[in-house]
Amino acid sequence: MKKTLKDKITFCILAIITIMALSPFVLILTKMIHMGYKYLSPSLLTSYPRNLGREGGILNALAGSFILIAVSLTISLPICLGAAIYLTEFVSNKKIKDIADSLVEVLAGVPSIVFGIFGYYLFVYILGLGFSLLSASLTMALMMIPIMLRTIEETLELVPKEIKLSAYALGASEWETAWSITLRMATPGIITGCLLSIGRILGETAPLILTTGYNFRTPISFLEGVATLTFTMYEYIELGAAYPELLGKAAATSIILIGIILAIDLLTLYLSKKLTRTILV
Amino acid sequence: MDRVMEKVGKKLLTLSAIIATSTILFIAIMILIGTAPALRKFGFSLLGTVWNPNLGRYGLLPFIISSLYVVVISLIIAVPIGVLSALFVVEFCSKRIREFLEALFQVNFSIPSIVYGFWALVFIVPILREKIQPALINYLGFIPLFSGEPRGFGVLAAGIILAIMITPLIAAISIEVMKLVPEELKLSAYALGASKSEVAFRVTLRVAFPGIGAAILLSLGRAVGETMAVLWVTGNVAIIPKSLFDPCYVLTSVLVNEFGASVGDPYHTSALFSIAFILLLMSIGFVSLSKFIIKRIERKWGRR
């Protein structure tokens, strides 16, 4: 009897602590909606900012985020795909693979602001690309490598040996097998890797402050600046002391941003469940 | 023809593998080279207490101490909450609820850091300034840790928002580690007549201890390198903070605020590079150490 009472008390205390740990999401969302609901309207998403952002929408940021993602994926995906195939299919020495894997793992631990310093110094300053879409995308592409490479590698390793061996038995070369068997079977995993790294890029701000100039329009050249959802929030919050309405705009932007990121999270969850079903079962 | 294609293809694969694996070396080498001028000119005076680029004084100690102070505060808050909620999820929840709660931690984790920073600015700082800090100063002001003015901005605000950010991370990793604790151990404790809470605290928590250590190290690495969540709440004054209510200036914030404008003054840039180098060392150190521990645990108990 005494024991069960003690169990019940422990249960209650731990439940309260867990609710405390999970509550920030609700608190943050409530505060953001409270501050930003006035600015949430279809025109927020369909019009460019006017008057330094005090009027108009955030179309530049929405379009900019997607353009930045598209360009950095175009740079990063081939590199990660190639590296993953090379590391899983063509490296037979386990020591070399371990070293390569741990180098990538260390890259995952680099703080985003350090990527920003690197991107600023190398792309903006030394290579003279200026504050531009290209500098920002190159920096972001490097940041994507760890998550994307690891996810793709893990899926490639899940592809059953037997299927590869049967392909060899049918006379396929190493290259043909990698290209038309392994890669095709790993497609859901590759998409998951892309989604995960897109989620990271969408929420990233610090490296962008140092690599992309702001832009009130959609960039039409690689050397133009680009605005993203996060960077727009940064600009608006920095100006918020002078123009309080910009803080409301920043809150509205954050709601859009959280919405997009949650949608990507859900999609990733769905895909990774599907992936384990098709390959493992 | 196919042969040629295959050879070119293989070369391209090798090239991309080299790019992906050597990026970290590039970053480290470039930052090391960038650090050299300041290190050669100032040497140990880089560890001074005054930062004033206009006067050529580049003491990094205020930033290093601010960062460590803020991170320690955040861990003191986040570790008990994260670990205990992980224990709740693993030991006291059915599988269904467990999956649901894990997804909620994931959601908390995927909020962008700038949103945390913004929320801290508009929510935590005012509450601290108007409610919590005046009360603390009133009742506990005789303790140096709680003395000073109720500014809102400062060590405590930054520590709280970082704690909120890393709690889901600590919880998520602790859950993974606690799941690895062998079922036989728990069952034998039950067989000896232990209650549910005794099993949770005396078996699961104790056996999972090294893994929880790894979770703490990982979040330490994350917290030191975090930029946007703390940028607006520390007050950004380059002093060595003593009280919890003192303003401070962390390593990452200096880089955001000063790096762009520093180019042209080689020593200023180089001093900032040495800040980046310190950050790189700290976060790589903590993160690699924790990955190493987690790998050892997985090898010991196997994935389930």
Kindly list the distances between the CA atom of residue A71 and the CA atoms of A108, A114, A139, A184, in Å, as whole numbers in the listed order. 21, 21, 11, 23
Mean pLDDT of chain B: 90
Task: Say yes or no for a CB contact (<8 Å) between B9 and A110.
Answer: no
Chain A residues within an 8 Å CB radius of B288: 102, 105-106, 109
Q: What is the pLDDT of residue A142?
A: 95
Between residues A277 and B154, the one the model is more confident about: B154
pLDDT tens for each residue of B92-101: 998 899 989 9
CA A93 – CA A90 distance, rounded (Å): 9
Q: Is the pLDDT of residue B304 over 50?
A: no
CB-nearest partner of B197 from A10, A142, A261:
A10
pLDDT, mean of residues B288-298: 83
Q: For chain A, which ranges sit under pLDDT 50? A: 1, 280-281
Q: What is the pLDDT of residue A123?
A: 93
Chain A residues within an 8 Å CB radius of B272: 117
Residue located via tokens 């700290």: B282
Q: Which two tokens stand for residue A54?
A: 């005090």
- For residue B235, give the DSSP letter: B
The proportion of chain B whose per-residue pLDDT surpasses 70, expressed as a percent, equals 98
Residue of A nearest to B113 (CA): A203
Nearest-CA distance from A216 to chain B in Å? 20
Task: Identify the CA nearest to A61 among candidates A192, A205, A238.
Answer: A205
DSSP labels, B190-243: HHTT--HHHIIIIIIHHHTHHHHHHHHHHHHHHHHH--HHHHTTSB---S---S
CB-nearest partner of B20 from A145, A203, A247:
A145
Kindly list the distances between the CA atom of residue B275 and the CA atoms of A260, B250, B279, in Å, as whole numbers in the listed order. 34, 10, 6
Nearest-CA distance from B287 to chain A in Å? 6
Torsions phi, psi for A56 (to 5 deg): 85, -170
Residue of B nearest to A150 (CA): B20
Chain B residues within an 8 Å CB radius of A103: 21-22, 24-25
Q: Is the pLDDT of residue B120 over 70?
A: yes
ipTM, two decimals: 0.91
Residue of A nearest to B30 (CA): A118
| A and B: number of Cβ contacts within 8 A | 230
Q: What is the pLDDT of residue B111?
A: 92
Q: Is the pLDDT of residue B135 over 50?
A: yes
Q: Which residues contact B63 (CB under 8 A, 6 or more apart)?
A: B51, B238, B249, B250, B251, B254, B275
pLDDT tens for each residue of B203-248: 899 989 888 999 999 899 999 999 999 999 999 999 999 989 999 9
Q: Is the pLDDT of residue B2 over 80?
A: no
Task: Say yes or no for a CB contact (<8 Å) between A18 and B101.
Answer: yes
Q: Which two tokens stand for residue B192?
A: 């000896």
Between residues B138 and B275, the one the model is more confident about: B275
Superfamily of domain B2-301: MetI-like (1.10.3720.10)
Provide the residue ranges of all domains of chain A, joining segments of one domain with +.
2-38, 40-280
CB A35 within 8 A of CB A245: no
Burial class (CB in 10 A: 0-12, 13-18, 19+), B292: middle
CB-nearest partner of A14 from B22, B92, B112:
B92
Chain B residues within an 8 Å CB radius of A262: 107, 110
Q: Any idea how long chain A is?
A: 281
Q: What is the pLDDT of residue B303?
A: 52
Residue type, A113: I
Q: What is the pLDDT of residue A277?
A: 63
pLDDT, mean of residues B21-26: 94
The proportion of chain A whose per-residue pLDDT surpasses 70, expressed as a percent, equals 96
Task: Say yes or no for a CB contact (<8 Å) between B82 and A265.
Answer: no
Q: Which residues contact B184 (CB under 8 A, 6 or more apart)?
A: none
Q: What is the pLDDT of residue B294?
A: 82
Q: Which helix (H) or strand (E) holds A55?
A: strand A55-56
pLDDT, mean of residues B270-281: 94
Q: What is the pLDDT of residue B1?
A: 54
Chain B residues within an 8 Å CB radius of A113: 225, 227, 252, 255-256, 276, 279
- For residue A38, give the DSSP letter: G
Alpha carbon A8 to chain centroid, angstroms: 41
Mutate to test the interface with B, among A9, A13, A22 (most CBs of B within 10 A): A22
Q: Specify the CATH number of the domain A40-280.
A: 1.10.3720.10
Task: Say yes or no for a CB contact (<8 Å) between A104 and B104.
Answer: no
